[in-house]
Amino acid sequence: MVDEDIYQRINTLVDEEKVLREHETPEDVTRLALIEETLDQCWDLLRQRRALREFGRDPEKAEVRDVDTVERYEQ
């Protein structure tokens, strides 16, 4: 996966999130939570890839981390 693919995934999720929030129903709450978690994972993956690249390592070694790990990060 290349950075552009990750950015495309982020854009797709953000677009879906906007649509759901415009007409949010109780059924949308679960999907919105999943979108937020997936967005956090995507941003984390991009940060990993940048860090690896910055230190001369292969960005393809970055891996999607589980939601619990990503959600516990301090911003």
What does the pLDDT look like over 5-38, one tens digit per residue?
999 999 999 999 999 999 899 989 999 999 999 9
Name the token pair of 69.
Answer: 């790990």
Question: What is the distance between the alpha carbons of residues 43 and 31, in angstroms, rounded to a whole number?
Answer: 18
Say what the pTM is: 0.89
> Per-domain residue ranges for the chain?
3-71
Residue-wise pLDDT for 46-75, tens only, equals: 999 999 999 999 999 999 999 999 988 765
